[in-house]
Chains A and B, each alone.
Chain A
Amino acid sequence: MAGYNLKEIMNKPERLTPGHRMCAGCGATIGVRAVLRALHENDRAVIGNATGCLEVSSYTYPYTAWEDSYIHNAFENAGATLSGVETAYKALKKRGRISEDVNYKFITFGGDGGTYDIGFQSLSGAMERGHDMVYVCYDNGAYMNTGIQRSSATPMYADTTTTPVGKVSNGKLQGRKDLAGIIAEHNVPYVAQTTFTKDFRDIHTKSERAIYTEGACFLNVLAPCPRGWRYEASDVMNICKLAIDTCYWPLFEVDHGKWLLSYEPKHKLPIEDFLREQGRFKHLFKPGNEDLIVQFQEEVDRRWEDLLYKCAR
C-alpha cells in the first residue's frame, strides 16, 4: 500500500485501550489492535466477540476496554450474533432511524476454538449469507482460555492438555484444518491469512481491505500464546517471523476468488527453527523422534506447494 507509514499508523488512537487483563506476550491483543487501526477514524464500529480469553479479559463488569460498541453473546455464535447486528443496521438505516452520514463497520473476533470448532457453523452461515462484516480469527492453535486443550487448529504433535505427550503419545495426531481455505471456498469477496511482521504492513493492509470490502470477509491471524506455546513473552514477534519464514504460516489473500501470495521467503527455513522455540514441541527434539520432525516438514512442504499452485493459477 502506497503511503503506508508505520509511525503514523501506530500513533492512531487505540480502540482497544490498556487496562485489560490479557497476558504479557499474548498475540490476541496485538492482532486486535492491528485490525482496529485499519478502521478510518471517522467510522464507527460494532465489535463482536466469541467467548474466550479476549472476551473475559477485556470486558469484565463493570469495566470495558473497548472504545466502540461491543457485544459478546456466547462461545459458538459470534458469526450469527454479528449478522443480527449488521442486519439491524440495514433495517434502521432503511427506516431512517440512523442518519445517512453515520457509518458503521462490523468486526467480530473469535479464537480458534470459537471459530474453527464450536462456532464453525455460525461462521459458515454468516459468510454464506454475505453479511457486510469481517470475521477475524485470532488463531493461537488451542483452547487456551480453558487451559490449552487441542483444537482443529492445533498443529500436529503439539503437546496440549487433551493430547498430552506421554510414554505412548507424541502429542496431537492430526494436522491443522485449513480454515482460510475453507472460508475462501464459500466464495466470499475477501479472505486473508496474516500475522505480525516487523512493520505491521501485511496485517494492516489486509485488515483495511477486509473492512472496506463490501460483503462477508474473513481474516485468519496467527496469534501466538505464551502459555500454550511455551515461549518467552518477549519472543512473540520472533515466533511469528519464524512461522512465516518456515512457511508454517504462509501469508496470502484470496481476493474475489483470486489466490495471491503475499510473501515468499528468500530462504525457506527448516521447520525445526519454528518448533525449537516452543515448549509444546520439546519432545520432538528428543533422540529417536527425528522422523516426527521429518513428517512435520513434509506436511508443511505439501501445503506450501499446494498454496503456490493455487496462487500461480
Chain B
Amino acid sequence: MSRKDRMSGNEAVAYAIKQINPDVMPAFPITPSTEIPQLVSTYIANNEMDTEFIPVESEHSSMSATIGAEAAGARSLTATSSCGLALMWEELLLAASNRMPCVLALVNRTLSGPININCDHSDSMGARDTGWIQIYAENNQEAYDNFIQAYPIAEDRRVHLPVMICQDGFITSHAVQNIELNEDKDVKEFVGEYHPEEFLLNSGNPIAIGPYSISNYAMEARKAQEMAMESSKEVIIEVAQKYRAKFGRGFELFEEYRTEDAEYIMVIMGSAAGTAKQAVDDLREKGVKAGVLKLRVFRPFPAEEIAKALKNAKAVAIMERTESYNGHGGPLCSEIRAGLFEHKVYVEAVCYTYGLAGRDFTVDHVYDIFKELYEIINSKKDYKQHRYINLRTKEEI
C-alpha cells in the first residue's frame, strides 16, 4: 500500500525519518539541508514522533554526538551539506572505523570557495574515502526510498558501516515533485527494530570504544573495515531487491536506461540523470543509439558491474559534478577508467565536468556531448579527455 503526495526532497527525507522514528538525531543547520532538522523538530514538537533531537553547536559536534549515541546503543542520524560535511570530516572517519551503523542525510552542495550555496558533488566526493557507504538519488522519490533502505544496510552484521544518503541541493531538496509514500507500518516493518550486539549502555556488559591502536593491530582493523565495505555490496543489492518486492520501486547498484544496444553511454549521478534520460529519448527518436547509466551506489564502487555494463559501447561520457584538481578529471572518471582497464574493457571514455556550484545543465548540453562522442569515434580525431561543459568563456576548453 502507498499513497500519492507532492513533496520536496527535504520533506521526503524528513518524512522517512518520521516514519522510522530513530532514537537520537543531533544536527546543525546548513543550507540546503536545514529543512530536514527543522521538519524533524516540528514533528517532535507536534508529538508525531519522539526521537531525541540534540541542537548541537556545530557539525563536528553533530557527528560526534551521533557517534556517541550510536555507540551507546541508539539508532542515530544527522543531516548536513557542504562545509558542514567538511567540518565533520574527522568524525566521518571515526564513525566508519568504529563501525557505527548510523545514517547521514546529505544534501549535496558545493564546498567553498568561493562560497556558494548551490549543488555539486564536491562535498560527498571529498568524503569518498572516509569509509561511508554512499547512495545517490535522482529525485525526491529515490531520496525517500534510499533513506528507508539505509538502516537495513548499515545495521546488517556483514556491514556495520555508516551510510550517507545523498540528494542534490535545491534541484532535488527544494523542488516539489510527485511522490509515492509508503504506509508507516510498512516502513517500520521494513526497517525493523534496532538490537545492537555490543553497546555502552548494555547493562552488566561494559565495553570500551575508540582505543589507541599500535601498529601491531591497526592494519587488521583497517582491513576488516575494507572487507565490510566489500561485503556491503551484496547487502545493498539484497535490501534493494527486498524493497522493490515490497514497494515496487528502486534500483540496485545503478539504473541502466536504454543501454541494451547503446553505442554511446552517458554515466551520470544525481538529479542530472533526469536531464540525460530526456535527451536520450529525444536522440533515440532521431535514431541515435544513446543510453544512460545512472549510478546509485558510489561506495562501495561497483567497478566490475560498470565495466560490464559499458563493454559494448563505442564511447562513454563520464559526467563529473566535482573537480579533483588532479589535472585529469574527477573521482568518477578516475575510478571508472581504472575499472574499465582492470576488466579489460577498452572503450573511449571522456570526462566531462558539469554543473559546478549550481551551473545549469540542460538537454542541449547532453545533445552536444553525444555529438562529440560520435565525432570522436567517427573522425578519429584527437580529443581532450577532460572537458568542461557550459563555461562562460567563449573559447573551447
Contact = CB atoms under 8 A, between A and B. Distances in A.
Contact of A69 (B50, B58, B69, B200): B200
Contacts of B58: 121-122, 125
B209 A61 contact: no
**Which of B24, B55, B64, B211 has the largest number of chain A CB atoms within 10 A?**
B64
Interface in A28-47: 44, 46
B250 interface: no
A80 B64 contact: yes
**Which of A79, A85, A89 has the largest number of chain B CB atoms within 10 A?**
A85
Contacts of B207: 69-70
Given A121-B58, A122-B64, A84 B24 contact: yes
Contacts of B64: 73-74, 77, 80-81, 84, 122
A64 B213 CA distance: 11
B203 A99 contact: yes
B214 A88 contact: no
Contacts of A67: 206
Nearest to B212: A56
A71 to B, nearest CB: 5
Contacts, number: 166
A59 B24 contact: no
Main SS class of interface, B? mixed
A111 to B, nearest CB: 15
Interface stretch (B71-79, B160-168, B294-302, B355-363): B71-79
A80 B58 CA distance: 10
Nearest to B210: A72
A21 to B, nearest CB: 10
A173 interface: no
A81 B67 contact: yes
Nearest to B23: A91
A82 B206 contact: no
B54 A87 contact: yes
Contacts of B208: 59, 64, 66, 69-71
A69 B73 CA distance: 12
Interface residues of B, number: 44
A70 B206 contact: yes
Contact of B57 (A59, A70, A124): A124
Contacts of B60: 76-77, 80, 122
A303 to B, nearest CB: 28
A81 B68 contact: yes
A97 interface: yes
B169 to A, nearest CB: 25
Contacts of B206: 44, 66-70
Given A71-B209, A84-B54, A95-B23, 16 more contacts: A73-B64, A73-B67, A80-B26, A80-B65, A81-B67, A84-B66, A84-B71, A85-B68, A85-B71, A92-B73, A121-B58, A122-B60, A125-B57, A125-B58, A128-B57, A129-B56
13 contacts: A44-B206, A55-B212, A59-B210, A60-B213, A61-B214, A62-B211, A66-B206, A69-B207, A71-B209, A76-B60, A87-B65, A88-B52, A91-B51
Interface of A: 44, 46, 48, 55-56, 59-62, 64, 66-74, 76-77, 79-85, 87-92, 94-95, 97-99, 102, 104, 121-122, 124-125, 128-129
A-B interface, 10 closest residue pairs, ranked by CB to CB distance from nearest? A84-B68, A84-B65, A125-B57, A88-B72, A80-B61, A88-B74, A72-B210, A77-B64, A80-B64, A61-B211
